[in-house]
Structure 1
Amino acid sequence: MDPLIIARLQFASTTIFHYFFVPVSIGLAFTIAVMQTMYVVKKKDVYRKMTKFWSVLFLINFAVGIVTGILQEFQFGMNWSTYSRFVGDVFGPSLAIEGLLAFFLESTFIAVWVFGWDRLPKKVHLASIWLVSIGTTISAFWILSANSFMQNPVGFEMAGERAQMNDFVAILTNPHLWSQFPHVLMTSIATGAFLVAGISAWKLIRKHDVEMFKRSFRISIIIGASTAFMMLFTGHWQAQYLVESQPMKMAAAEALWETSEDPAPFTVFANINTEEKMNEYELQIPYLLSFLSYNKFSGSLEGLNQLQAEYEAEYGPGNYIPPVKTLFWAFRIMTGVGSLLLLAALYGGYVSRKNKLPKNNLYMKAMPWVIALPFIGNTAGWIMTEMGRQPWVVFGMMKTEDAVSPSVTAGEMLFSFISFTTIYAILAILTIYLFARHIKKPVFLEETPHKTNDPFETEAGGADHVTG
């Protein structure tokens, strides 16, 4: 057994599983904040009920996300100690600020929000959930600032065999960070929104609490349509940045072996032969790749073979071509998912506006399955981001094969891999069970006014009973 292969498999499994929960926390926090804002503005108890219903799913997801994040951190010391020593002085400030500022902001105001119902003035209570939403966004920003250093190292100097930060502003202004962060934020909010829309559709098909879930669907599908639309633009900007900063990654994503003609065609499908370094069959759209890369119908892109020769001249002998087939299809899955989400959201907005939701059974039956699409797209995006950087763990500075812990045996890595995977499987089963248990329970909207301890609340709302 090769310790490097096991370490990489464990990193992939822990990262992918943890990232199932991160975008849901970001997206649900934002969507719930919008719902509670509607309650404060419109003073209708249906918005209060929907806020409380979705908050249970948010809290379950948030709790499991913390556990998976902690487990993910353990592997760096176990499997990647050389890498940890190399980047520790650079990553330290970003990760410390993420923990001390963002996570404490989230956890503090989650407690205020959960226990503040009917104890705080409504606007103060509303501010607490918006601070939670801001906290989840700030947390993503600081984590991405560390990841961006791996993609585009800036703001450091070498101190022996370790990278040492010498310019914190350069870390925060890393162009890779600002090309990546808006796209990650939009995909995260979309993930939470489509989760709400899909579950709302499931409830509407079964005619559970129709009024509440019609409004939940309408709010979430509007958020989903807006973010899906922005996903296309932010993804386009990020791809254009990568054409300039990581041309090998984009050449692999296009299975472009030789420098393209001018203008460059976009390859829709290809039968890729990695051994011969060629495509045996291609289905292409003329001019499109040039337009996507440069916003004009002219311009060529360097091919993998030419870039390989350039990298060998700069970094020495070695194979610098990432897994082409994986990146080629991951890129197309990611962009295909984004397009499907936009179409689903636009049509959902239309039928919602026309008040046809309960009657539109075919579309509504499909929406619960649409919940899976953002997770598929997010996973494909991170596979492209991380595998497209190979063979580097820190681009141009440290190769992945040099980052693994030298003293950890393959057997020890295999044991931790099996242990972590088992824990994740248990957490997945528990999360699905808790989600399903809560979703299946009805929410009754009663007409009797609820009592409140809020001195600023003068209007009568509905009863505050949420079953489950």
Structure 2
Amino acid sequence: MSVVDISRWQFGITTVYHFILVPLTIGLAPLIAIMQTVWHRTGNEQWLRATKFFGKIFLINFALGVATGIVQEFQFGMNWSEYSRYVADVFGAPLALEGLMAFFLESTFIGLWMFGWGRLSRRLHLACIWLVAIGVNASAYFIIAANSWMQHPVGVEWDPERGRPAMNNFIAVITNNTTLVAFPHVIMGALLTASTVVAVVGLWWMARNTYRASKIEEAAKIGDESIIPATTSPSQVGASPEKLRHDNATLWRPVSIFALWVIIGSGLGLFITGDMQGQLMFKQQPMKMAAAESLCETETGASFSVLSIGRQNNCDNIEHIITIPNMLSFLSDHSFDSEVKGVNELQKQYQEALNMPGQNFAPNLFVTYWSFRAMITWALGSVVVAFGGLWFLRKKRTEVPRWFGRLALWTLPTPFLANASGWIFTEMGRQPWVVVPNWADADGDPLRIHMLVQDGVSNHTPPMVWATLIGFTLLYGALGVVWFYLERRYVIEGPSDKDAAAPDVGSDDDESAELSFAY
């Protein structure tokens, strides 16, 4: 493998792993803030239990997300130094804002939120978690703004002396229309992920409590306690069937209902923002959308391919087995009769426009085609949870069958896989570019702002990059084991009854009061 390929693999592996953690952090922060707000407004201490319980999951995820995210920025200098030099003037501002404003905001107030239970007033403590949620989402915005510039460069001019773009309009960079449609799509995906986690955990706990309560009652009838499943969860040890059902009714059902409706809302948001993003991609990156459909030849009234087989990467012998007539044209601009350019025509067009007759401008069609479909398919797992959960919890029901609790657990990875597939599609679909030409401009890339992937890599030897690839993969694998172990442990442990006790707030003059770590 070449240095370019090894460097791409390293960045891909670390980025996909990092983005397993990111959506949960982005989505869970506002959900926890809402839970704490409900407790603050109503005084219902079950929402306090939920806040502290899901707060543990959030903090673990946040910590590992920070650890894995630091490596991402260092990789620009390690393996992509030519790329870093090329985009330095543009990336400096949004990444500085992400670090100095958004990350500092979330880091500062997450500390106050963690240690401020019983020390800060309830209102001030509530403000801390809302500021964390704002900081997390602001951080996401600046990162997406930087990535969107790679997809559609604006707000710059060519500097012939330094041979790289120079930013001349910061506002244009951070209000790039690509950013404005990508950001809400990412946020909807994050909310879908976080709400699925909350709903699945809630439904699983309801099924667990339902099963345990029935076994306790059955054991009392037959006089055989051996049939009662063992447990180490504080909320289940020594709990009566009445207590277990009470937890279902007052804690898990409200939390699950809340999360299930967020799944539906974010799912609709994904559909709307995805449609907007798709239309923009047809204008800005037509090759990506042609590759996403394995559309080799230009068609009018093009059909959407549900399933295709054949040698996609060579754009020959492709057979579209299942199609939806005219749907691809409709997705491009909401007209069933629109012309959609194919890979072959776009290839010739790009070679002529950029005077690169030997360059292949088509991405890997196989990966682009199937990652797009994987993104949509995996997202359906959350839909199963949403409609199934709402069905079992209809009409104030508080019991969930054990089989559905287990099924919900199996769907838990699906939103994470959907998010990962979406980013694989986004990044693989723009190949071979690391900075895509501004094709949407009427003059056809007048800014001369574009860069091929092979031109952005550092001057390393393959063994050197192999060493870091193997090292980071093993390190991230170990962190993944730690993350899974901790999250699993706290989910199985469940919320403690002690968390229902509202923390006492000392007076401002009470110097003996210490910061309390609630986790």
TM score, norm. by length of structure 1: 0.93
- For 1:83, what is the secondary structure of its paired residue? helix
Comparing 59-68 with 214-223, greater Cα deviation is found at: 214-223
TM superposition shift of 1:449: 5.9
1:460 corresponding residue in structure 2: none
State the alpha-carbon separation in 2 of the partners of residues 433 and 226 from structure 1: 31
- For structure 2, the residue ranges without an aligned partner over 5 or more in a row are 210-235, 237-246, 438-449, 509-515
Residue 12 of structure 1: aligned partner: 12
2:73 matched to 1:32? no
Deviation at 1:442, TM superposition (A): 3.8
Which aligned pairs between 1:54-453 and structure 2 lie closer than 5 A?
54-159=54-159, 160-207=162-209, 209-210=247-248, 211-261=250-300, 263-273=301-311, 274-315=313-354, 316-317=356-357, 318-396=359-437, 397-406=450-459, 408-445=460-497, 450=502, 452-453=504-505
Please, which moves more after superposition, 358-367 or 446-455?
446-455
- Distance in 2 between the 1:272 and 1:442 partners? 49
Give the secondary-structure state (helix, strand or coil) at the position aligned to 2:299: coil
Cα distance in 2, alignment partners of residues 170 and 465 from structure 1: 43
1:225 deviation in Å? 1.5
d(CA) in 2 for partners of 1:405, 1:137: 32
**CA displacement, residues 223-280 of structure 1 (integer Å, 9 cap, x when unaligned):** 121111111111111011101111100000011000113x221111111323353413
Structure 2 vs 1, CA of residues 144 and 276 (structure 1 numbering), >3 Å: closer, same or farther? closer
- Inter-CA distance 54–258: structure 2 relative to 1 (3 Å threshold): same
Higher relative contact order (CA 8 A, sep 6+): 2
CA contact (8 A) 1:23 1:188 kept: yes
Secondary structure, aligned partner of 1:405: coil
Does the Cα contact within 8 Å between 1:198 and 1:369 map onto a contact in 2?
no
Distance 1:447 1:258 in 2: 62
Q: Distance in 1 between matches of 2:494 and 2:382?
A: 28
CA distance in 2, matches of 1:102, 1:449: 32
Structure 1 equivalent of residue 242 of structure 2: none
Inter-partner Cα distance in structure 2 for 1:45 and 1:206: 22
Range that drifts further, 203-212 or 63-72: 203-212
SS in 2 for 1:452: coil
Distance 2:501 2:417 in 1: 44
Note closer, same or farther for the CA distance 1:247–1:365 as it changes in structure 2 (3 Å cut).
Answer: same
Amino acid at match of 2:51: T
Whole-Å separation in 2 of the counterparts to 1:338 and 1:296: 26
Give the distance between the partners of 2:470 and 2:500, measured in 1 at CA: 53
Q: In structure 1, what is the equivalent of residue 229 of structure 2?
A: none
Whole-Å separation in 1 of the counterparts to 2:10 and 2:18: 12
> Any idea what SS the aligned residue of 2:322 has?
strand
Q: Which amino acid aligns with 2:178?
A: H
Aligned length, in residue pairs:
458
Q: For residues 339 and 298 of structure 1, what CA distance do their matches in structure 2 show? A: 29
Label 1:400 to 1:113 Cα distance change in 2 as closer, same or farther (>3 A): same
Q: Assess if the C-alpha contact under 8 Å between 1:257 and 1:278 holds in 2.
A: no
The structure with the largest alpha-carbon Rg is: 2
Root-mean-square deviation (Å): 2.1
Deviation at 1:446, TM superposition (A): 6.2
The answer (yes or no) to whether the contact 2:155–2:173 under 8 Å persists in 1 is yes
- Conserved 8 A contact 2:156-2:168: yes
SS in 2 for 1:91: helix
Cα pair 1:272 1:325 within 8 Å, conserved: no
What is the distance in 1 between the residues matched to 2:500 and 2:114?
23
CA contact (8 A) 1:252 1:322 kept: yes
Measure how far apart 1:173 and its partner are. 1.8
1:133-172 Cα deviation digits (max 9, x unpaired): 0111000000011101110011112222222211101102
Q: Distance in 2 between matches of 1:242 and 1:287?
A: 18
Relative distance call for 1:357 and 1:329 in structure 2 (3 A) is farther
Task: Provide the rounded CA distance (Å) in 1 between the counterparts of 2:121 and 2:98.
Answer: 29
Aligned residue type for 1:441: E
Letter in 2 for 1:271: I
| 2:230 corresponding residue in structure 1 | none
Percent identity between matched residues is: 40
Worse overlay, 166-175 or 433-442: 433-442
Match of 1:459 in 2: none
Give the counterpart letter for 2:364 in structure 1.
P
Say if 1:313 and 1:34 are closer, same or farther in 2 by CA, change over 3 A: same
TM superposition score normalised by structure 2: 0.84
Inter-partner Cα distance in structure 2 for 1:50 and 1:338: 25
